[in-house]
């Protein structure tokens, strides 16, 4: 029984998975904000799409 109690105490003190959970929560929050910006602000989205198209065109012209 003592071994089981010690195992339970070690399990409760183990913090190795806490950081991963914190990063997951932060990632969900940041993803939600980014998604909200892309859904509501079409000007920003269109500007970003245009910028990526210009970059792709420039890469294609250098490759040829």
**Cα–Cα distance measured from residue 8 to residue 3, given in angstroms and rounded to the nearest whole number:** 9
**Cα–Cα distance measured from residue 35 to residue 38, given in angstroms and rounded to the nearest whole number:** 5
- The 3 state secondary structure assigned to 10-61 is HHHHCCCCHHHHHHHHHHHHHHHHHHHHHHHCHHHHHHHHHHHHHHHHHHHH
**Cα–Cα distance measured from residue 55 to residue 64, given in angstroms and rounded to the nearest whole number:** 14
Q: What is the pLDDT of residue 55?
A: 95
pTM: 0.49
Domain ranges of the chain: 2-63
Q: What is the pLDDT of residue 27?
A: 94
> Which tens digits make up the pLDDT trace of 4-58?
888 777 877 776 667 888 899 999 999 999 898 888 888 888 898 999 999 999 9
Contacts of residue 37, Cβ cutoff 8 Å, sequence gap at least 6? 44
């Amino acid at each position: 029984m003592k071994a089981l109690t010690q195992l339970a105490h070690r399990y409760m003190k183990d913090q190795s998975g806490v950081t991963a959970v914190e990063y997951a929560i932060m990632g969900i929050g940041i993803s939600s904000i980014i998604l909200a910006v892309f859904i509501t602000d079409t000007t920003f989205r269109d500007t970003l799409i245009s910028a990526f198209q210009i970059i792709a065109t420039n890469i294609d012209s250098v490759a040829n």
